[in-house]
């Protein structure tokens, strides 16, 4: 689930707004607003789209339970998805190959979202 939008890093480019298939973000005057966190599908597209590494998706965590930003920065987790996927590589570095490697990560996101949905609607 989307856990953090780091205001100090955000340039209000709205790439996350455009990238999010679940319409989690609304445009804002100073920065996008996480308007529907519970709709997050944990697909990481917002993190990948954010050139400033101003977003953090916590895959197994509700946004209220996510670690503090300073802990995530200290642990090197902010921007990790972009770096590990090769998203920051030059355009001729074979991003399609890197994108293909995201398959397991995206599948894990689907499984997490399914479990979250089932838990919310159980009973």
Domain ranges of the chain: 2-120
The DSSP string of 9-52 is T-----HHHHH-TT--EE--SSS-EE--GGG-----HHHHH-TT
Residues in the chain: 123
Least confident of 5-9, 48-52, 54-58, 60-64: 60-64
Q: Which two tokens stand for residue 84?
A: 């590990």
Of 12 and 95, the one with more pLDDT: 12
Nearest one of 116, 80, 87 to 19, comparing CA atoms: 87
Residue whose token pair is 């509700």:
62
pLDDT, residue 86, reads 75
| pLDDT bracket for residue 56 (50, 70, 90) | very high
Q: What is the pTM of this model?
A: 0.71
Of the candidate ranges 2-11, 31-40, 47-56, 76-85, the one whose mean pLDDT is the lowest: 76-85
């Amino acid at each position: 689930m989307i856990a953090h939008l780091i205001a100090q890093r955000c340039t209000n480019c709205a790439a996350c707004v455009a990238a999010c298939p679940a319409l989690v973000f609304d445009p804002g005057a100073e920065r996008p607003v996480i308007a529907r966190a519970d709709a997050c599908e944990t697909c990481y597209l917002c993190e990948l789209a954010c050139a400033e590494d101003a977003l953090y998706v916590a895959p197994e965590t509700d946004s209220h339970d996510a670690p503090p930003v300073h802990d995530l920065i200290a642990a090197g987790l902010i921007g990790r998805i972009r770096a590990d996927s090769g998203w920051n590589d030059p355009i001729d570095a074979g991003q399609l190959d890197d994108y293909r490697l995201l398959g397991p990560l995206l599948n894990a996101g689907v499984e997490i979202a399914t479990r979250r949905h089932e838990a919310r609607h159980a009973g």
